[in-house]
Amino acid sequence: MKDLLIVGSGPAGISAALTAAARGLDFLWFGSRALSPKIAQAPEIANYPGLCRVQGRDFQKILQDQIDAMGLSLREERIDFLYAMGSHFTACVNETMYDARAVILAVGVSTAGAVPGELDYIGQGVSYCATCDGALYRGKTIAIVSTNPEFEEEVEFLLRLAGKAYVSRSYPAPDVPNAEGMADFPKGIRRENGKLQIAYADGERTVDGIFFLKDSVSPAVLMPGLAMDGAHIAVNRDLETNLPGCFAAGDCTGRPYQYAKAVGEGNVAVHTALRWLKENQ
């Protein structure tokens, strides 16, 4: 059993990992070696102390070097679900489970937002996890929405299983015989006669299931029971959520969406977690 799980490798997660390591916590850190698309894509950063007009790609490299120099271990895995078990938390990654006494969610905020109807059909045709749910759609018709080339392996996995797939990608990729590349992203989802209808600009398609592969799903989907305040995780000033032992930091707790705020909250969340771990031994 670990002390802590940190989910997310953007500025908030990096700050949390650096602080957790400095304080000697036994923790697991999940994210991507690319860190966060919101770091690499920044054209020029001028409002972060110590950086003067630095391009996002250069900031990414500085952070990667710092992670390596500090010997931090980043697990390149996406957490599918997190469960509050009462005495501890369990994170699920495909078929592997990780347990820890406390959790820091630094998962960012999805700027794409949910498609109308998406949240109404979670678990009833809408899925965020190809590995978890792909087998349910063997030979069936599905829609896939992928917002990052990092998900291409999951897209290919789904295309091997599906009979037919409508695929919306935010990046170029070759189609395969059973896949129809869509020119746009879905506009809405509804159910009719037990089947999902997914609307595109040129009309609706009937599908059995829809897979949204995106950098950040709603934290309430990731962690059942987590209280939200609109699109953000509800936290107090110490970054405690409604679930004892679960803390949140960065864009996922609300505006302003900025590096300085994310980094500060990553640090505060670890200090609150340290206090909580001590009080709940």
Q: Is 41 in the site for ligand FAD (CB under 6 A)?
A: yes
Q: 234 to each of 79, 80, 86, 143, 256, how far by Cα in Å?
A: 20, 21, 19, 32, 15
Containing H/E element for 270? helix 259-279
SS3 207: strand
- Quote the CA–CA distance of 147 and 149 in Å, as a whole number: 7
Name which of residues 87 to 106 contact ligand FAD (CB under 6 A).
Answer: 106
Name which of residues 53 to 92 contact ligand FAD (CB under 6 A).
Answer: 78-79
Start-end of H helices in 35-180? 37-40, 56-69, 130-133, 152-161
Q: Is 10 in the site for ligand FAD (CB under 6 A)?
A: yes
- Residue among 17 and 196 whose Cβ is closer to ligand FAD: 17
- Residue among 104 and 179 whose Cβ is closer to ligand FAD: 104
Kindly report the number of other CB atoms within 10 A of residue 155's CB atom: 22
- Residue among 9 and 168 whose Cβ is closer to ligand FAD: 9
Q: Is 112 in the site for ligand FAD (CB under 6 A)?
A: no
Tokens of 67: 């992670």
Q: 271 to each of 17, 104, 239, how far by Cα in Å?
A: 12, 11, 10
Q: Is 222 in the site for ligand FAD (CB under 6 A)?
A: yes
Name which of residues 235 to 274 contact ligand FAD (CB under 6 A).
Answer: 250-251, 257-260, 262
Q: How many residues bind ligand FAD (CB under 6 A)?
A: 33
- Residue among 73 and 206 whose Cβ is closer to ligand FAD: 73
Per DSSP, the residues of 6-46 read EE--SHHHHHHHHHHHHTT--EEEES-TT--HHHHT-S-B-
Q: Is 12 in the site for ligand FAD (CB under 6 A)?
A: yes
Q: 154 to each of 103, 141, 180, 192, how far by Cα in Å?
A: 26, 16, 16, 28
- Quote the CA–CA distance of 75 and 189 in Å, as a whole number: 34
What is the closest distance, in whole angstroms, from the C-beta atom of residue 23 to ligand FAD in the complex?
19
Q: Is 11 in the site for ligand FAD (CB under 6 A)?
A: yes
Q: Is 218 in the site for ligand FAD (CB under 6 A)?
A: no
**Which listed range, 9-17, 65-73, 191-199, 234-242, lies at the site for ligand FAD (CB under 6 A)?**
9-17
Q: Is 108 in the site for ligand FAD (CB under 6 A)?
A: yes
* Range 248-260 burial, b when 16+ CB lie within 10 A, else e: bbbbbbbeeeebe
**Which listed range, 35-43, 135-143, 182-190, 273-281, lies at the site for ligand FAD (CB under 6 A)?**
35-43
- Residue among 48 and 185 whose Cβ is closer to ligand FAD: 48
What is the closest distance, in whole angstroms, from the C-beta atom of residue 229 to ligand FAD in the complex?
16
What is the closest distance, in whole angstroms, from the C-beta atom of residue 166 to ligand FAD in the complex?
25
Q: Report the candidate in 95, 80, 79 with the shortest Cα–Cα distance to residue 7.
A: 79
SS3 95: coil
- Residue among 201 and 260 whose Cβ is closer to ligand FAD: 260
Contact residues: ligand FAD, CB under 6 A? 7-13, 30-32, 36, 38-39, 41-42, 45, 47-48, 78-79, 106-108, 215-216, 222, 250-251, 257-260, 262
